[in-house]
Amino acid sequence: MNVRHSMITRSTGTVLVTALAAVALGGCATIIQSPHQQVSIASTPSGATVSIDHVQRGTTPMVTELKRKDTHTLRIELAGYQPYEATLNRRVSGWVWGNIVFGGLIGLGVDAITGSMYKLSPDQVSAQLTSGQAATEKRKDGVYVFAVLAPQPGWTKVGQLTRNPS
């Protein structure tokens, strides 16, 4: 009877120690980075409305917390100015390697599930809002030209776009 009780206690103790180790190692994985990241958003001029993922979040300047595991769409608008749009992309953070070393596969799994293994880029957005006339913006995939369809009094006509009949 003592032998059986000793085996049950030893088996229960092993399970308890294993469970505590898993919880402790899992907790270590997210010590460096939380599942959320602070992103600062500013505009010139300030006071513009900020929408993130089609939800209004405040006015510039502001700091907001976003989930690291998601890609976010940012839109900054101010009456009389062209809207500014940007995408905050997730990238694997360099801290993942440290979490693998200290947290092992459990740490990597926790990071993947919570999103702590990612970093949002850019983490600071500074929008230069242009007045409602015309503007250009260089991006990775090309140059974008924005124009106003209704001219204002006092503007000088410098050209006109026509359709190519082909």
- 53-64, pLDDT tens digit by residue? 999 999 999 999
Residue 113 lies in a domain: yes
Residue 156 lies in a domain: no
Residue 160 lies in a domain: no
| 130-143 pLDDT, tens digit each | 886 666 677 788 87
HSE at residue 79, side-chain half, CA atoms within 13 A, is 0
Residue 65 lies in a domain: yes
Query: What number is the average pLDDT over the span 6-22?
Result: 51
Residue 95 lies in a domain: yes
> Using the 8-state DSSP alphabet, how is residue 153 labeled?
T
Residue 25's pLDDT is: 44
Residue 165 lies in a domain: no
User: Cα separation of 76 and 15, whole Å?
Assistant: 53
26 Cβ contact list (under 8 Å, min separation 6): 103, 106, 107, 109, 110
Do 27 and 109 contact (CB within 8 A), yes or no?
no
Residue 157 lies in a domain: no
Burial of 9 (0-12, 13-18, 19+ CB in 10 A): exposed
> Using the 8-state DSSP alphabet, how is residue 132 labeled?
S
Residue 164 lies in a domain: no
Count: domains in the chain: 1
Domain of 34?
2-147
